[in-house]
Amino acid sequence: MKPDKQPSRHSMRGCVDEGALLVYAPDPLVPFAHSAYVGTQRFELQPGASLVTVDWLSSGRASCGERWAFESYESRTELRLMPERSTNPDSVPPVLVEALHLPRAGLALRAVGFDIGGVARDATVSMVVVGPRTTEVVARLHDAAAIIAQRRRGGGLEGGAGRPQRDAREGRMPSILKDDAATAASEGEGTLGAMLLGDLMLGVCDVEVGVGAAPGSAPSAAPDSAPSTAPDSAPRTASASAPRTVTVARLVAEHNEDVYRLLHYCLSPLQGTLGTTPYSDRIHAVVAAPPTKLEVSATDDL
């Protein structure tokens, strides 16, 4: 929070042209105790454009004992699907709004709300994925949700053959360093599940929306038209008003390092397009290691 008691603000607007792909994959926001933040992400997609966006909030400086201790937090992601290039973006309502608001009034119960199942969770993430160039990412998200559900259902927090259950707050699982394999693309439960340290919960939903329609409104059917007289060889594009599918994923996790690994797994199909996999530079071991709890004295300057 600023000295004048006003929240820190961040605003971003992304315009994605036809056929283009925008990947917005930041590190987590780490709010200090007593801080306040307001963020807005607005994305405008032309027909045929693709988008992957990550909105990631950490509980704070957890290793210093600051968990969900910030004053307030607001984040809002708006998605607009433009019906045509000449349309004024401000005249097109968002087809999807993904928002999270944690007001000051809920501070006392905030940690309780995130610590689902009695597990102290330090990360919450939402993703919005849309467009023809993101189909493999969507498939990975659904696969990851199934892997995590199976891992939780079968007591898979052991993370693999013969390994003891890992509890980061008791520090019982050492890191296994092996840089040559650290950033390799993960495949299937045997790899993704074994790389994770703590408990995660992931939900993925595919939402059908109409281009330029208000949030929550059903896509309208296109009127009947006469058969086209254009030759079969002529290029064809999808109708600008045809409904499109937007995938929304929501995740809560015990450890931010597990989030890095999960996002790296889900975004690895983009390596050929981007020249690298998002978050590959954040992974330096085969499995996650328990975080170190810092001993901070009252005189330490943080």
pLDDT digits (tens, 9 = 90+) for 127-184: 999 999 999 999 999 999 999 999 888 755 544 433 334 433 333 333 333 333 333 4
Distance CA 277, CA 275 (A): 7
Distance CA 68, CA 59 (A): 5
Helix (H, G, I), strand (E, B) or coil at 192: helix
Contacts of 291 (CB under 8 A, 6+ apart): 62, 63, 168, 255, 257
For the stretch 213-257, pLDDT in tens is 655 555 444 444 433 434 333 333 444 556 799 999 999 999 999
Would the pLDDT of 287 be above 80?
A: no
Tokens of 12: 């971003």
Looking at residues 37-50, what average pLDDT do you find? Answer: 97
pLDDT category at 285 given cuts 50, 70, 90 is confident
Distance CA 195, CA 287 (A): 4
User: Which value, to the nearest 10 degrees, does the dihedral of the CA atoms of residues 44, 46, 48, 54 take?
Assistant: -10
Looking at residues 50-74, what average pLDDT do you find? Answer: 93
Its sign, for the CA torsion 299, 36, 41, 243, is positive
